[in-house]
Amino acid sequence: MKKTKYALVTGGSRGIGRETCIKIAEELGYAVLINYQSNQAAAEETLKAITDKGGKAELLQFDVNNAEGVNSKLNEWKDANPDALIEVIVNNAGITRDGLMMWMEEEDWQKVLNTTLNGFYNVTRNLIQDLLKNRYGRIINVASVSGMKGTPGQVNYSAAKAGLIGATKALAQEIAKRNITVNAVAPGFIETDMTQDLDQSQLKNLVPLNRFGKAEEVADLICFLASPKASYITGETININGGIYA
Ligand code: NAP
């Protein structure tokens, strides 16, 4: 029997993750597993946006930081859905806890690193053997311009995202022979809840395209990388930042 192909998007309730869920369902026809941490109402809006257009999706709550929680939720889901296969993983969940290094509390360091790096490990490690058996898959990691160039006031976040870019390059080489690609995207300023407290009118002057990006624009790039069209791109990090850094 042919398996139902799923894409799992961590942090799919809001922002870039939400738009990615919607586009992957609509443009690539995957059933979507919408992960979120706590904002169930927002996750349900993502779900509705997909099902209203005739797509298939379901919610899967877990905290990407919590290895036990990730494994139990994913294993339970796999047991309950033996005819399904998660073929696309978008490691998107991320947080910021900004502040200068000289005042940075250990908790802000740990939380940001754990969400990005342990989140990537916990989710990808659980699903990778299924991808290897499938001999096809797509992994897309949402990094940041901060991981490429470093951003003052974000030593924790820059370290986490640079680490994720390193992991992307290494894993890509490990699993390329099984026709699984691993890529990262590195967005600049994107209009989401994460950037809502930033002064856009000032900061847009730093951007050659003179505006913040939209979550849909990042989702388009992720969707391309998740598609068969991107079959010869792996280990790559693609900047999407309006020209602030290349
Ligand atoms: P956002 O609007 O703040 O949304 C964050 C999403 O991540 C939410 O769905 C949230 O779930 C989820 N999340 C956070 N911690 C989680 C955890 N421990 N476990 C599971 N889910 C978790 O952020 P965004 O701007 O869309 O950012 C998405 C990704 O893009 C992040 O990795 C971010 O670092 C990266 N990025 C963003 C920008 C930007 O300018 N916005 C730029 C570069 C990179 P709940 O709704 O349940 O809280």
Residues 160/117, Cβ–Cβ less than 8 Å: yes
> Which of the residues 121, 157, 232, 245 is marked catalytic?
157
Confidence band for 182, pLDDT divided at 50, 70 and 90? very high
Segment 95-129, tens digit of pLDDT:
999 999 999 999 999 999 999 999 999 999 999 99
Q: Which helix (H) or strand (E) covers residue 19, if one does?
A: helix 15-28
DSSP code, position 11: T
Query: Is the CB of residue 36 below 6 angstroms from any atom belonging to ligand 1?
Result: yes
Number of H helices and E strands in the chain, helices first, is 9, 9
Query: Is the CB of residue 91 below 6 angstroms from any atom belonging to ligand 1?
Result: no
What pLDDT was estimated at residue 2? 85
Residues 163/118, Cβ–Cβ less than 8 Å: no
Query: Is the CB of residue 174 below 6 angstroms from any atom belonging to ligand 1?
Result: no
Distances from the Cα of 141 to the Cα of 1, 72, 172, angstroms = 31, 22, 11
- β-partners of residue 36 are 61
Say whether pLDDT at 245 is over 90.
Answer: no
Mean pLDDT, range 194-220, rounded to an integer = 97
14 CA closest ligand 1 atom index = 9
Q: Report the alpha-carbon distance of residue 195 to residue 184 in Å, rounded.
A: 20
Q: Which helix (H) or strand (E) covers residue 88, if one does?
A: strand 84-91
**Coil, strand, or helix at residue 142?**
strand
**Coil, strand, or helix at residue 85?**
strand
Segment 28-54, tens digit of pLDDT:
999 999 999 999 999 999 999 999 999
Q: Could you give the domains of the chain? A: 4-240 (3.40.50.720)
Confidence band for 246, pLDDT divided at 50, 70 and 90? confident
The answer to whether 157 is a known catalytic residue is yes
Instruction: For residue 93, report the distance from its CA to the centre of ligand 1, in Å.
Output: 5
Tell me the CB-side half-sphere exposure of residue 148, using CA atoms within 13 A.
Answer: 18
Confidence band for 1, pLDDT divided at 50, 70 and 90? confident
- 19 Cβ contact list (under 8 Å, min separation 6): 215, 216, 218, 219
Q: Of 50, 71, 51, nearest to 62 (Cα)?
A: 71
Query: Is the CB of residue 179 below 6 angstroms from any atom belonging to ligand 1?
Result: no
Query: Is the CB of residue 242 below 6 angstroms from any atom belonging to ligand 1?
Result: no
Instruction: For residue 135, report the distance from its CA to the centre of ligand 1, in Å.
Output: 29
Task: Name residue, tokens 């809840």.
Answer: 193
Mean pLDDT, range 238-244, rounded to an integer = 97
- What is the identity of the amino acid at 193? D
Segment 131-145, tens digit of pLDDT:
999 999 999 999 999
Residues 105/30, Cβ–Cβ less than 8 Å: no
Q: Of 149, 35, 41, 157, nearest to 94 (Cα)?
A: 157
DSSP code, position 211: S
How many percent of the chain have pLDDT more than 70?
A: 100
How many percent of the chain have pLDDT more than 90?
A: 98
187 CA closest ligand 1 atom index = 43
